[in-house]
Amino acid sequence: MKASRYAPARLILHCLLYALLLGIMGPLWAAAEGQKSTADHSKFKELQQPFATGPEVTKACLGCHTEAAKQLHKTTHWTWAFRNELTGQTLGKRNVINNFCIATASNWPRCTSCHIGYGWKDDSFDLTSETHVDCLACHDTTGGYKKFPTGAGHPNYEPQEWPPKSGKMRQPPDLQKIAQAVGSPGRDNCGACHFYGGGGDGVKHGHLDSSMAKPNKDLDVHMDKDGLNFSCQTCHTTGSHEVAGSRYAPKASDDRGVVVPGQADQNRATCESCHSPQPHKAEAADRLNQHSKRLACVTCHVPEYARGGVKTKTWWDWSTAGKKNAEGKPFKIKDADGYDTYDTQKGDFVWEENVVPEYRWFDGEIQYTLIDDVIDPNGVVPINRIKGSADDPKSRIWPFKVMRGKQPYDKQHKILATPHLFGKDDDAYWKNFDWNNALKAGLASRDKTFSGEFGFVETEYSWPITHMVAPKEKALDCAECHSKSGRMAGIEGVYIPGRDGLPWLDKIAWTLALLTLLAVLIHGAIRIFMSKRG
């Protein structure tokens, strides 16, 4: 609802209530903000020593936190494998295929710079090793700890150049200092991977990028640095190193009600878990609460994504990769804002900001197209399929970022092909730009034989939008959906006033109304004419 439509008296009342709330809650929030651990890690003897490598730090951590690594071993953050009980599919970064850099297999050292471990450089990585858990990626509070982009999860222990051939040297982190200052994860810890997914700032999600590290109120009403200042874990509640909320199996609707202590399920990674399924209290509350039964909260409350000044990638065409410039060298083309629109290694890109989401019915079930799934290359291949319909009371209309592009597929086996992109070997696409070798090696790493014939197929990948929640004054205006060619244009199975109706009824009825008007006007004209004649 728009603030301008608040009656003055009500506005004043709201201000007073809000001030009262702030007065009560302010000190509590402040207390939480300044909450200090009961342990000063710099005083621990175990940490008062130089550390040569990350695993050495981990070994010291595990000396006291005896169960931490075992807990982490059970998480998707560690396994990169996720069993979706709804669909029976095994997902996770090890298994899914996307339309960004396509797949992790055979490209491990580059991808696993975002793994919470050390040394996942090939399939031989030991997922049971406790000392290879990276505690600092999440618990560094100094900001000085950075995993090296091609280091398979390790930071660089010697000065190393990054980006390649840039002449910029990246200094190794001071592990001792960092280890002595560990604490609860902050937004930058989560953001180091989740803001930069897909190989750069904002590339993948569109609603998570570096602007979310210190957002203002307009960008995210909950994480507003001068306001509520939520951390990621405020909603993504944690316990035993397990973090609530899943993109593979999201809750499309949540009828648990407000989550209070004592409930078995303390997951707060839904809007409803704090706001209740009937959250509207001000004007038009009834009608808006009716909407809550069919719409996800974020459909109205995240009017656009990529709103923080960072663009997100919306199109990635691998089929144009491999072009060389006049000197026969790989090259890049940048747009006016400095975003790559072409890269010999990767093909063509489109970047967008302030993007209007696409909307779909969603019941929480997402079916992925995996390496064994036969595709129809004549159409657009869905990387994932969003399930849900108007007939299902648990389904809600959700906003999505739909990532589109073209990517290689095996023409004979009719499967999406996973290229070997990164590596120093001759097969790596980014070294020799030979698709045949890259696809052969990449598919072999997934135990698939490349038929030798490949093509490029258009794909689309739907990402539920959940972050960048705008303040209520900036929620979507009704007419954005309640209009003929509004945002709900593609949504079926529900009557939307302002959009729907029977066009033939309208046509006949307006014609009848006009004819009636015409008839009475003619009747009146004849009366005037006849009375003038006398």
Partner 1 sequence: MSQRIYIFKRFERFWHWSQAALILFMLVTGFEVHGSYSLFGFAAAAEYHTTAAWALITLWIFAIFWHFTTGEWRQYIPTLDKALDMLRYYLSGIFTHAPHPFRQTQLRKHNPLQRLAYLLVKLIINPLLWISGLLYMFYGSWNDWGLGWLSLSWVAVLHTLGAFMMLIFLIAHVYLGTTGHTPGAHLKAMITGWEEVED
Compare residues 25 and 489 and give the one whose CB is closer to partner 1. 489
Q: Is 505 in the site for partner 1 (CB under 8 A)?
A: yes
Amino acid residing at 523? H
Give min distance, CB of 392 to partner 1, in A. Answer: 13
Q: Are 199 and 193 in contact (CB under 8 A)?
A: no
Binding mask 5-24 for partner 1 (x = CB under 8 A): x-------------------
Applying the rule CB under 8 A, the residues between 276 and 295 that interact with partner 1 are: 283-284, 286-287, 289-290, 293
* HSE, side-chain direction, 13 A CA sphere, residue 521: 6
Q: CB of residue 118 vs partner 1: minimum separation in angstroms?
A: 53
Binding flag, residue 516, partner 1 (CB under 8 A): yes
SS3 188: helix
* Residue type at 219 in one-letter notation: L
In the shown chain, the binding pattern of residues 108 to 137 toward partner 1, with x for contact by CB under 8 A and - for none, equals: ------------------------------
Kindly tell me which of 240 and 389 has the beta carbon lying closer to partner 1.
Answer: 389
Nearest to 54 by CA among 154, 129, 172, 143: 154
Q: Which two tokens stand for residue 141?
A: 């509070």
Instruction: Provide the minimum distance between the beta carbon of 219 and partner 1 in the complex, in angstroms, as a whole number.
Output: 24
User: Taking CB under 8 A as the rule, does residue 392 contact partner 1?
Assistant: no
Q: What is the Cα gyration radius of the chain?
A: 28
The reply to whether 501 sits near partner 1 by the rule CB under 8 A is yes
CB of 534 to partner 1, least distance (A): 10
When asked if residue 497 is in the footprint of partner 1 (CB under 8 A), the reply is: yes
Interface residue with partner 1 among 478, 487, 491, 532 (CB under 8 A) is 478
Q: Is 213 a residue that touches partner 1 (CB under 8 A)?
A: no
Q: Is position 52 an interface residue for partner 1 (rule: CB under 8 A)?
A: no
H or E segment to which residue 301 belongs: helix 297-301
**Selected binder of partner 1 within 46, 126, 255, 500 (CB under 8 A):** 500
DSSP state of 187: H
Q: Which one of 484, 490, 492, 532 is in contact with partner 1 (CB under 8 A)?
A: 484
Is 3 a binding residue for partner 1 by CB under 8 A? The answer is no
Residue listed under structure tokens 């997922």: 127
User: Which part of the chain contacts partner 1 (CB under 8 A), choosing from 25-33, 322-330, 413-421, 523-531?
Assistant: 523-531
Residue indicated by tokens 């205006």: 477
Residue 75 in contact with partner 1, rule: CB under 8 A: no
Instruction: Kindly state the DSSP code that residue 155 receives in the 8-state scheme.
Output: P
Which residue, 40 or 506, has its beta carbon nearer to partner 1? 506
Q: Rounded distance, CA 96 to CA 104, Å?
A: 9
CA distance 54 to 170: 17
Q: How far apart are CA 236 and CA 234, in angstroms?
A: 6
448, 454 contact by CB (below 8 A): no
Least distance in angstroms from the C-beta of 507 to partner 1: 11
Q: Is residue 136 a contact partner of residue 455, using CB atoms and an 8 Å limit?
A: no
Q: Is 482 in the site for partner 1 (CB under 8 A)?
A: yes
Distances (CA, A) of 1 to 4, 12, 486: 9, 16, 18
Q: Considering the complex, what minimum distance in angstroms separates the CB of residue 504 from partner 1?
A: 11
Q: Does 257 bind partner 1 (CB under 8 A)?
A: no
Contact in structure between 438 and 428 (CB atoms under 8 Å):
yes
Quote helix, strand, coil % in the chain, to nearest 5: 30, 15, 55
- To partner 1, the closest distance from the beta carbon of 388 in angstroms equals 18
**Partners of 380 in beta bridges:** none
At closest approach, how far in Å is the CB of 298 from partner 1?
19
Number of Cβ within 10 Å of residue 230's Cβ equals: 17
- Separation between Cα atoms, residue 17 and residue 12, nearest integer Å: 9
Q: How far is the CB of 521 from partner 1 (least distance, A)?
A: 8
Q: List contacts with partner 1 (CB under 8 A).
A: 1-2, 5, 283-284, 286-287, 289-290, 293, 393, 477-479, 482-484, 494-495, 497-502, 505-506, 509-510, 512-513, 516-517, 520, 523-524, 526-527, 530-531
